[in-house]
Amino acid sequence: MDAFHRPRCDTVPAWAQLQAQYAATGAALDLRQAFAAEPGRFAAFSQDAPYVFADLSKNRIDAATQNLLFDLARQTGVEVHRDAMFAGAKINTTEDRAVMHFLLRKSAPTQAAPASAAIKNELAEVHATLDAMLAFAETIRADSGITDVVNIGIGGSDLGPLMATLALDAFATPSKRMHFVSNVDGHELAALLPRLQVGSTLFLIASKTFTTTETMTNARSAKAWFEAQGGTDTARHFAALTTNVAAAKDFGISTTFGFWDWVGGRYSMWSAIGLPVAIAIGAANFRDFLAGAEAMDEHFRSAPLEQNLPIRLGLLDVWYRNFHGFSSRSIAPYHSALRRLPAYLQQLEMESNGKQVDMQGQALPFDTCPVLWGEAGTNGQHAYFQMLHQGTDVVPVEFIAVKKARHSLAGHHNTLLANVVAQAQALMVGKVDAGGHRNFPGNRPSTFLLLDDLTPASFGALIALQEHRVFVSGALWGINSFDQWGVELGKVLAKDIEPRLQSGDVTGLDGSTAGLLNRLR
């Protein structure tokens, strides 16, 4: 078996055994009975990983199921696939690319730990670019003339840096205001521009390809505004973060920080795309952020299956999706700084694993990526938790809590932590009420991820954990988690429709599209 010739999950013996296990005991497993029967359940289904403690015990699994899931991982060669990624193999087969975002956070080689021949050149380039990018970040931080930094990018060139800047706000310099513009909807940029001064604003044009319509439209408008306000020093006020340095140059930007085609957009915040984060938190904190992720990479790479948190989470995701048939997962970060984590994870998982064919292009006879959704707690509790507790669908919830608060307001953090623990408890234990309306069925599963503190390192580890669990479910399903062809068709059709909005030509369009165009004119 090698990374390109692995059996698909539904063809190996463990799959049929899991189906039998589901029918025999899995479907009916009651968490309350499981805890009553197993005094050691919390410890048995907990997992320590770098910076993250995971309580998996409130999930509908038992030891037998978990063992079959480990068999499934072995029989489908998840570790083979993982090792191929870490060895730099071109596992993104439809784009003929390696998948090496882990390299962006790999420590510089030392004499004691030299880089392997396979990645030596890439790692040297990574560190040269990182050093230059962080030096630039420090220059901007020290420059009191720059007060506002505007990141213009979308998808992976927006969601990660925006999320990280919010998450690490406690480490950010108060001397810079950070802004993120992503939408092609001009309302977003138009609302920001009047709040900026041309002489004290730095625009970062973040785009892997430097061709994305939204980003190029916003970048052109920002440049036009800059020039209309009398701005001339483009070199001081514009920088580009891109793999397409030539296009940035054509656009008129001379300060560029590059990255490589083996960094997927949704995996790129560790690269030059992280520049706004580095400006906010500084070089030393940015290096800690990378180091936290590297620690999780090492855990994923070397921990045995049975103690490997990304593998345990990815297996659970498959158990829920393909055997229980759960079609969504709710993300509940109980920390307001993590409020953009659900949006980030939506791209990470749904763009990676929202696929219907395997690596060979064959239609899959089973379901893949669930819907991810969520809000920061406790806000979600007062919105949709009603459905989580009493709705007809079972939705596994992933709670994320942080032990330490970084504010000194009395009472709040205790209340917050009490709520997150209580919600997980309530989902599981339920409450019997014969009248019906006040009945909570209980037995609703959740995972609880706990960080001691929200720091650059723990945050980096948390995100790398999520990247790797997505890798694991994708590897089990036998799909290519690293392309995103599903976003292309809409882009192409928008290009066709745009001139029709002006001309009114509806020739060849379906009735609804033609009708809408007529209404819009």
Peptide bond into 378 cis (omega under 30): yes
What is the enclosing helix (H) or strand (E) of 464? helix 456-477
Nearer to ligand F6P, 29 or 154 (CB): 154
Across the beta sheet with 238-242, what order do the strands follow?
177-181, 148-152, 201-206, 238-242, 256-258
Nearer to ligand F6P, 75 or 215 (CB): 215
Site for ligand F6P in 140-159 (CB under 6 A): 154-157
Nearer to ligand F6P, 266 or 329 (CB): 266
Site for ligand F6P in 195-224 (CB under 6 A): 207-209, 212, 215
Strands (E), 64-157: 148-152
Dihedral sign of CA atoms 305, 306, 308, 312 in order: positive
What is the bridge-based pairing of β-strands 201-206 and 238-242?
A: parallel
Nearer to ligand F6P, 432 or 489 (CB): 489
Nearer to ligand F6P, 480 or 484 (CB): 484
Q: How far is the CB of 79 from ligand F6P (least distance, A)?
A: 27
Catalytic residue among 120, 249, 382, 403: 382
Given a contact cutoff of 8 angstroms between Cβ atoms, the answer to whether 468 and 310 are in contact is yes
3-state secondary structure of 273: helix
User: Per CB under 6 A, does 21 bind ligand F6P?
Assistant: no
Nearer to ligand F6P, 92 or 157 (CB): 157
Contact letters for ligand F6P, residues 251-290 (x by CB under 6 A): --------------xx------------------------
Query: Nearest Cα to 60, choosing from 30, 94, 35, 22?
Result: 30
Q: How far is the CB of 267 from ligand F6P (least distance, A)?
A: 9
CA distances from 233 to 56, 238, 256 (A): 54, 9, 15
Q: How far is the CB of 210 from ligand F6P (least distance, A)?
A: 7
Nearer to ligand F6P, 22 or 259 (CB): 259
Query: Nearest Cα to 459, choosing from 158, 157, 171, 86?
Result: 171
Q: How far is the CB of 346 from ligand F6P (least distance, A)?
A: 12
User: Per CB under 6 A, does 487 bind ligand F6P?
Assistant: yes
Region label for 88, one of left (φ > 0), alpha (ψ between -120 and 50) or beta (otherwise): left
User: Per CB under 6 A, does 480 bind ligand F6P?
Assistant: no
Q: How far is the CB of 347 from ligand F6P (least distance, A)?
A: 7
Q: Catalytic annotation on 382? A: yes
Size, binding site for ligand F6P by CB under 6 A:
14
Q: How far is the CB of 268 from ligand F6P (least distance, A)?
A: 7
Helix 456-477 and helix 309-318, axial crossing angle in degrees, nearest 10: 50
- Choosing from 201, 443, 473, 484, the residue that interacts with ligand F6P (CB under 6 A) is 484
3-state secondary structure of 243: coil
Nearer to ligand F6P, 155 or 374 (CB): 155
Q: How far is the CB of 489 from ligand F6P (least distance, A)?
A: 12
> Which ranges of 113-176 does DSSP label H, i.e. alpha helix?
120-142, 159-167
Q: Catalytic annotation on 351? A: yes
Catalytic residue among 214, 294, 349, 351: 351
Across the beta sheet with 371-374, what order do the strands follow?
46-49, 52-55, 446-451, 397-402, 328-334, 371-374
**Rounded distance, CA 487 to CA 343, Å?**
17
Residues 6+ apart with CB under 8 A from 275: 133, 136, 137, 161, 204, 206, 239, 241, 257
Q: How far is the CB of 500 from ligand F6P (least distance, A)?
A: 23
Percentages helix, strand, coil for the chain (3-state, rounded to 5) are 55, 10, 35
Binding site for ligand F6P (CB under 6 A): 154-157, 207-209, 212, 215, 265-266, 351, 484, 487
Q: Which residues are catalytic?
A: 351, 382, 491
